[in-house]
Amino acid sequence: MKLKILPVIYLLAAAAAGKATGAPENVENTSDGLVIHLNAVEVELAPANANTFRLSISLDGPPQAAPSIFLANTNSGNTAPWQEVREHGMWGIRTAAGELLMNPKNGEWALKDATGKILIPRQKIVGFQTTNGDSSVQTTFGWSKRPICVYGGGNGTNSLQQSHATTGLGNGRATIPYYWSETGYSVLAVTADDNRPARWSPSGDGKSLTWIFPGHTADLYLTPAATLKDAAGDYARLTGYAPVPPLWAFGYLQSRWGWVNRAYIENTLKKFEDLKIPVDAFIYDFEWYTKEPDYALPAKGLPDFEDFGWNTNLFPNPAEQIKSYQEQGVHFVGIRKPRMGNSRVLAMVRAKGWNAFPADDPDRVTAREVRFDDPGFREWYIEQSAPLLEDGVDGWWNDEGESRFTLYFYWNTAEREAFDRYEPGKRFWTLNRAFSPGLQRLGTAAWTGDIKSSWGALAATPTSLLNWSLAGMPYGACDIGGFTSTPTPELLSRWMEAGVFFPVMRTHSVIDATPHFPWLFGDDALNAIRKAIDLRYRLIPYYYSLAHQTFETGLPLMRPLVMEFPHDAQVANMSDEWMMGSSLLAAPILTPIGKRTVYFPVDTWYPFESNVPIKGKRTIQVTVGLDGIPLYVRAGTILPLAPPILHTSQLPGGTLDLQIYPGRDATFTLTEDDGETTNYLSGQTRRTTFQWNDATGQLTWIISGDYDGTNVFKSFHVTVFNPHGKLEGSGMLNSNGSMMMAAGVR
């Protein structure tokens, strides 16, 4: 193996003021930043935005930001004010976020925050290598005293704290070129080819890591970020904020492989109604458009296979049926595959060069895969989708798209454009088996793939979803109950209970398993599952308001405890309990027998709907029945809850249940809109900001916003879970107001 070692480089930054003068000849001041010419390589130091620096390295040509779908704005021009700065032989740039500096003689670099704290220390740890003609850029970050501790690289490891990582997509696996370090910075790595993402690996002693960039260029987007919350907001600013999903996506979603016919669909819907189990969508596998899965098709396809039609066994009159189901509160989501099955279509695809793999590929499924990254194919796909959207499709379920790192992005780009064109103003929503950075900004969710029906898979699910929250995907889901077989009634019940606190609550199973319909697992399980789904629907006003916060701030709904309690070492790697927003601590049962320990960080906590406080920092043992869910509310919380409903189109459905858990002042903004359109983007929302003064016992509320729809809460009933006795009262939400709860009814 021939190894060519090229010049070494470092990264560092600090805060200073003024304009440096007398720069060496190899330092060039441009409108974007500083370019430093280092023998065989060139480097650019530039602001990516007000919070993030860009370090670009090129082995052959001027350095500049590589266009990337990972980024919300790929404009390589300057997007934030900066100053040139020099210190200790290093030249660099300063912004309000800190400094990025480099030694123009030897390429050492470093990063500092705005206070001057060193985040990435100055050391000779960068190499550029060419191995057997395949060039790569390698950049090492090191710490001298402690091992690596990073978060946010995806679910390639079953741990929040990640000491090793790969980059790529798999069945329910998304590992991405990003992390946040507890030393106080985050980094997103971008290569010249998004389908060949950068990766990092640890050193032997675990005290440093090396980023490896395939190709001739490397872009490091470096953000000083003191906490995981800071990092989440900065990462969303860089890669894009997640739009607010349609309201129905916060309900219970019943997925099934094996819907038999129209009668089967409608009997299932009637069963939900008769048993008073809330549901908001049926998600359909292959059978919605074909009578047989396409796995056995030859590479050239079959002449009678329909890629964009309806299976008349299930949908003899799709437009009429879907409209009828929607009127009953149940939306349509259908599976899609990244390949074609019709032989005429496949011949056309190959003639136009839209095929992703050769027609003689030994894998007959792969041989039929298409190129969503081709604009011509996307335009054709959009046109084919039009009749389906006109029939009433509400969302897509995109499966098996992991062959290319960017496939889901371009696939969703086509689907979203189809929605925008043929259903203008309707919110776009899809569910995908993996994701890459930036996919969230299109309006997508992701699920953890074909997991086992086992207690181990249940226990691992929160870790995967929390890792995805930290990796920029705030809307995670799983196959509740597991995909591969039939769960026991206890396992399905506990999984449903955990799913109440997942961003997307969805069941699914393989075709030959017992469908995960709540009534097929015995009366005890039915009662437990119905109680769990009822709780999910009560929480929708809270979750939906959090979704608006996510869109505005980048903070995920589902958060590890370490995000809320960064100084508590006991929660640094805890994922079997988690936060929903900043107020709810969910600790569902994830093992058999109904027992678990629950840890409470430093604060005061209340069991849900209890006025008996628990003081943290402590661990307690909890035992609950099959229908019990350990759920706790942080002191200083205003929690808005819905009345009983059977689907989200029934909201508001009555009086808002406003719960106050005292102990400190509190505020919460309830956000309402039409739940269906993108009008919220132009200010069509109603925001009711509730404030609780803990010292005086006064509740006030201020209503703002331009939305004047009828589907908003008009009244509320408030309960204060005072440790000395609950206080209750009622109010109207037709104007600003206040209420003294000290005078409430005991």
pLDDT (tens digit per residue) in 485-518: 999 999 999 999 999 999 999 999 999 999 999 9
Q: CB–CB of 335/284 below 8 Å?
A: yes
Contact criterion met (CB below 8 Å) for 100 and 93: yes
Q: Is residue 530 part of a domain?
A: no
CA distance 279 to 505: 10
Six-digit token string for 445: 């969710």
Say what the alpha-carbon torsion angle 235, 238, 239, 245 is, to the nearest 10 degrees. Answer: 70
Percent of the chain predicted with pLDDT > 70? 92
**How far is the C-alpha of 7 from the C-alpha of 128, rounded, in Å?**
7
Q: Which two tokens stand for residue 425?
A: 């103003």
Task: Tell me which H or E stretch contains 384.
Answer: helix 375-390
Q: What confidence score (pLDDT) does residue 9 get? A: 28
Where does the pLDDT of residue 207 fall: very low under 50, low under 70, confident under 90, or very high at 90 and above? confident
- Decide if 291 is inside a domain: yes
Residue 709, number of CB atoms within 10 A of its CB: 12
317, part of any domain: yes
Q: What's the pLDDT score for residue 61?
A: 84
C-alpha distances out from residue 146 to 10, 153, 163, 184, 228, Å: 20, 20, 12, 14, 19
Is 703 contained in some domain?
A: no
Relative to beta strand 281-284, strand 331-336 is parallel
Tell me: do 77 and 192 sit in the same domain: yes
Read off the amino acid at residue 421: R
**pLDDT bracket for residue 127 (50, 70, 90):** low
pLDDT value of residue 265: 98
Mean pLDDT for the chain overall: 92
Query: What CATH code is carried by the domain that includes residue 260?
Result: 3.20.20.80
| Mean pLDDT, residues 662-680 taken together | 98
b (16+ CB within 10 A) / e for 261-293? eeebbeebbeebeeeebbbbbbbbbbbbbbeee
| pLDDT score, position 10 | 27
Please give the pLDDT value at position 8. 27
151 and 270 both lie in a single domain: no
pLDDT confidence of residue 626: 98
Question: CB within 8 A of 470, min separation 6: which ones?
Answer: 151, 152, 160, 180, 228, 232, 556, 560, 563
Whether residue 388 is contained in a domain is answered as yes
Q: Give the mean model confidence (pLDDT) for residues 89-105.
A: 95
Nearest to 299 by CA among 351, 338, 342, 335: 342
Distance, CA of 299 to chain centre: 35
The percentage of the chain sitting over the pLDDT mark of 90, rounded to a whole number, equals 84
- Say yes or no: 174 and 35 in one domain: yes
| pLDDT band of 38, cuts 50, 70, 90 | confident
Q: How many CB atoms lie within 10 A of CB 524?
A: 14
Is 53 within 8 Å of 83 (Cβ atoms)?
no
- Residue 348 inside a domain? The answer is yes
- What is the distance between the alpha carbons of residues 445 and 473, in angstroms, rounded to a whole number? 7
- Binning pLDDT at 50, 70 and 90, where does residue 726 land? very high
* CA-to-CA dists, residue 732 to 186, 229, 353, 684, 726, angstroms: 45, 35, 62, 21, 20
- Residue 222, beta-bridge partner list: 53, 187
Number of domains present in the structure of the chain: 2
User: Is residue 161 in a domain?
Assistant: yes
Q: What is the CATH number of the domain that holds 104?
A: 2.60.40.1760
Q: Where among 239, 262, 289 does a domain terminate?
A: 239
DSSP 667-718: EEEEEE--SSBGGGGGT--EEEEEEEETTTTEEEEEEE-S---SSS--EEEE
Same domain, 197 and 308: no
Residues 278 and 348 grouped into a single domain: yes
3-class DSSP string for 274-309: HCCCCCCEEEECHHHCCCCCCCCCCCCCECCCCCCC
Strand partners, 580: 558, 584
- pLDDT for 143 equals 56
φ, ψ of residue 340 to 5 degrees: the values are -110, 160
pLDDT digits (tens, 9 = 90+) for 228-251: 999 999 999 999 999 999 999 999
Q: Which two tokens stand for residue 238?
A: 């860089």
pLDDT tens profile 345-359: 999 999 999 999 999
Q: Is 287 found in the same domain as 164?
A: no
Domain boundary pick from 208, 239, 270: 239
- State the residue for tokens 């604009």: 375
Say how far apart CA 319 and CA 355 lie, in whole Å.
32
User: Do 330 and 212 belong to one domain?
Assistant: no
- The residue segments making up the domain with residue 210 are 3-239
| pLDDT value of residue 21 | 54
Predicted local confidence at residue 20, as pLDDT: 40
The arithmetic mean of pLDDT across residues 142-150, rounded, is 70
Same domain, 199 and 113: yes
181 & 289 share domain:
no
Q: Strand 41-47 and strand 53-58: pairing?
A: antiparallel
pLDDT of 671 above 70: yes
| pLDDT number for residue 463 | 98
Q: Choose from 151-160, 164-173, 536-545 the range with maximum mean pLDDT.
A: 536-545
Question: Is 0.85 topped by the overall pTM?
Answer: yes
Dist CA 725 CA 719 (whole Å): 10
Chain position carrying tokens 């064109």: 421
Q: In this predicted structure, what is the pLDDT of residue 128?
A: 58
Residue 202: the pLDDT is: 84
Q: How many angstroms separate the Cα of 560 from the Cα of each of 55, 468, 530?
A: 30, 11, 27
pLDDT value for 506: 98
Alpha-carbon distances of 243 from 228, 249, 417, 544, 552, rounded to whole Å:
21, 12, 15, 12, 9
Q: What is the pLDDT of residue 135?
A: 59
| pLDDT tens per residue across span 530-567 | 999 999 999 999 999 999 999 999 999 999 999 999 99
Residue 474 scores a pLDDT above 70:
yes
β-sheet bridge partners, residue 326: none
* Residue 658 backbone phi and psi in degrees, to 5: -100, 115
- pLDDT value for 73: 81
Task: Tell me, yes or no, whether 269 and 365 share the same domain.
Answer: yes
Q: Which two tokens stand for residue 43?
A: 């480097």
**Cα 711 to Cα 554: distance, rounded to the nearest angstrom:** 27
Query: Does 745 score more than 80 pLDDT?
Result: no
Residue 7, amino acid? P
Residue 2: its pLDDT value, please?
Answer: 29
Q: Has residue 186 got a pLDDT over 80?
A: yes
Please determine, for residue 340, whether its predicted confidence score (pLDDT) is greater than 90.
yes
Pairing of β 98-102 and β 90-95: antiparallel
Domain match, 403 and 272 both: yes
370-423 pLDDT, tens digit per residue, is: 999 999 999 999 999 999 999 999 999 999 999 999 999 999 999 999 999 999
Q: Which residue has the higher pLDDT, 159 or 125?
A: 159
* Helices 489-499, 455-470: inter-axial angle, 10-degree rounding: 10
What are the distances in angstroms from CA 606 to CA 74, 205, 632, 668? 46, 43, 5, 18
Choose the final residue of a domain: 447, 468, 498: 447
The pLDDT-based confidence of 453 (bands split at 50, 70, 90) is: very high
Tell whether 550 is covered by a domain.
Answer: no
Please count the other Cβ atoms lying within 10 Å of the Cβ belonging to residue 67.
13
Q: Are 336 and 219 members of one domain?
A: no
The residue length of the chain stands at 746
Query: Do 489 and 453 meet the contact criterion of CB atoms below 8 Å apart?
Result: no
